[in-house]
Amino acid sequence: MASTGPWGAIPQAEGVIQGVENALEKFSSRDRQHTGEKSDSSITDTSSGDLKKGNGDQEVTKLARQITQNSVKTAGGGYPNPFLGTNDPALDPLSGQFRPETWMKTLMGLQSRDPERYPERIAGVSYKNLNVHGFGTLTDYQKTFGNAPLEVAGIFNRITGRGQTKIQILRDFEGLVKSGEMLVVLGRPGSGCSTLLKTIAGETHGFYIDEKSDINYQGIPMKTMHKDFRGECMYQAEVDVHFPQLTVGQTLNFAAQARAPRNRIPGVTRKQYAKHMTDVIMAVFGLSHTYHTKVGNDFVRGVSGGERKRVSIAEAALGGSPLQCWDNSTRGLDSATALEFVKTLRLSTSLSGATAAVAIYQASQSIYDIFDKVVVLYEGRQIYFGPIGAAKAYFVNLGFYCTERATTGDFLTSLTNSVERIVREGFEGRVPRTPDEFAVVWQKSEARSVLLQEIDQFEHEFPVGGENLTKFKHSRQAQQAKRQ
């Protein structure tokens, strides 16, 4: 169920390190273009090495170099086992000089020696003709004394199954997020962001995916994925649910124990695994100082709201799902911490090949630029899906105006509000207005045909039910934690 790292799938081949460097170079060069936001967050002064020092560009590039150049091997040529304690402070999360990247490289080094024991995981997903619906009553009214009899009628209808209307939540969605990529999901509240994320993650309780929808998890059909391979996809809701009386250390240790994989590094017990992973994840997310503090909630005194958010994120990261959907996870975080969160996610996807889809309201430019792809939702329609760098030009070409001050994220969401969007001179009366009109324009667009070609290529590479399914079953058997 879980991989041996807080980062999702751990890649096996040595060559992947080059890929990491490329990905991080790409990330940092994009980051460099935007200096508007400094990441001097509250987690900056923690002991988690370069990752937390903020200045994304140089730091991440430096980090990529270290991964490729610095040897973490011991004198004997082997890799030290950080789970059993080492003299190297960079591998010790309690040392104050812990370096997640060195730790990660060590782990990758240890695992790459034994590909049989640590087979690859699946992370990418493509979907086409994706339609999702639910059922509800058409009149959702506020209860008052006057209309109380209506409510009684409503209860009667619910019991008898009458009065329920089909509500189309998502119409004709298509997209492709490959292993190691990050997708940002933009839309106004109510536009279907949560439904899209839940659908990808397979949390379909309460709604229905149309039979004709095509979802391909790198060769694994949707049903198999969500029935046999639960835990590979993760949906993190925006609300934090914890036991307030437990300390942060207890909470994370419990999560780490529950998710300890069977194919741990030889000689490492489940307890040792959980202890070390807890320390690592707390250092990575700047939580080390809260080990003995209660998680708390609105009534029980505990860690701060931002820290509690990070506990949730850390807990989900311990699960190590290769495909991660984060729903509005930056809510309640200040902008610097939100940026830090997305950067951490970027690092983990780049290093491990995991895939992340994240719904964010009000993404700053620095946050937006960390992603690879963006999808824009307008009342249940997909009005754009593609590379983050091409989205603005797509809508400007349609005839919309992006003000100097607006971030790309704000511009994209402003289009889905008739009051906010601004039409360029000369385009009056020629631009799409309703969600359906936007969707039609998208369907006829060049950007869409490029996407469809990419999806075809992906499906050709990973045909549903093909050899990848067999490989994946094997991988799961190796990783799956023993039922306790």
CA angle 47, 255, 276 (to 5 degrees): 40
Cα–Cα distance between 363 and 476 in angstroms, integer?
35
Cβ proximity to Mg ion: between 188 and 264 the closer is 188
Which residue number has the CB closest to ligand ATP?
134
Is residue 195 a contact point for ligand ATP (CB under 6 A)?
Answer: yes
Q: Do 253 and 278 form a contact (C-beta atoms < 8 A)?
A: yes
| Residue 111 token pair | 């695992």
Is residue 85 a contact point for ligand ATP (CB under 6 A)?
Answer: no
Alpha helices for 435-481 (secondary structure H): 435-443, 446-461, 467-479
Stretch touching ligand ATP by CB under 6 A, among 113-121, 186-194, 284-292, 339-347: 186-194
266 binds, among Mg ion, ligand ATP, none (CB under 5 to 8 A by kind): none
Q: How far is the CB of 195 from ligand ATP (least distance, A)?
A: 3
**Which one among 146, 206, 266, 429 touches ligand ATP, defined by CB under 6 A?**
206
Torsion, Cα of 15, 231, 3, 261 (10° steps): -150
Cβ proximity to Mg ion: between 239 and 419 the closer is 239
| Residue 204 token pair | 């379909």
For residues 94 to 133, the per-residue mask of contacts with ligand ATP, x marking binding by CB under 6 A and - elsewhere, is ----------------------------------------
Cβ proximity to ligand ATP: between 5 and 187 the closer is 187
141 binds, among Mg ion, ligand ATP, none (CB under 5 to 8 A by kind): none
Is residue 134 a contact point for ligand ATP (CB under 6 A)?
Answer: yes
Cα–Cα distance between 331 and 312 in angstroms, integer?
12
Amino acid at 430: R
Is residue 290 a contact point for Mg ion (CB under 5 A)?
Answer: no
3-state SS, one letter per residue, for 150-175: HHHHHHHHHHHCCCCEEEEEEEEEEE
Cα–Cα distance between 64 and 50 in angstroms, integer?
11
List, in sequence order, every residue forming a beta bridge with 127; answer none if it has no partner. 175, 215
Written as one string, the DSSP assignment of 409-442 is HHHHHHTT-TTT--BPTT-TTTS--SHHHHHHHH
Query: Any idea which residue has 């999901």 for tokens?
Result: 185
Is residue 414 a contact point for Mg ion (CB under 5 A)?
Answer: no
Which residue number has the CB closest to Mg ion?
194
Cα–Cα distance between 108 and 409 in angstroms, integer?
35
**Which one among 193, 220, 311, 412 touches ligand ATP, defined by CB under 6 A?**
193
Q: How far is the CB of 326 from Mg ion (least distance, A)?
A: 11
The footprint of ligand ATP on this chain (CB under 6 A) covers a number of residues equal to: 15
Stretch touching Mg ion by CB under 5 A, among 188-196, 223-231, 249-257, 303-311: 188-196
How far are the Cα atoms of 267, 348, 404, 480 from residue 342, in angstroms, in the given order?
Answer: 34, 10, 24, 28
Is residue 199 a contact point for Mg ion (CB under 5 A)?
Answer: no
Q: How do strand 125-136 and strand 214-217 relate by DSSP bridges? A: antiparallel
- 294 secondary structure, DSSP code: B
**Which one among 12, 194, 278, 366 touches ligand ATP, defined by CB under 6 A?**
194
**Which one among 86, 194, 364, 407 touches Mg ion, defined by CB under 5 A?**
194
Is residue 46 a contact point for Mg ion (CB under 5 A)?
Answer: no
Stretch touching ligand ATP by CB under 6 A, among 182-190, 295-303, 422-430, 446-454: 182-190
Q: How far is the CB of 78 from ligand ATP (least distance, A)?
A: 48
Q: How far is the CB of 189 from ligand ATP (least distance, A)?
A: 3
User: What residues contact residue 428 under an 8 Å CB cut-off, 6+ apart?
Assistant: none
Amino acid at 446: E
Cβ proximity to Mg ion: between 358 and 402 the closer is 358
**Which one among 122, 169, 177, 234 touches ligand ATP, defined by CB under 6 A?**
169
Residues near ligand ATP (CB under 6 A): 134-136, 167, 169, 187, 189-195, 206-207
Q: Which positions lie near Mg ion, rule CB under 5 A?
A: 194
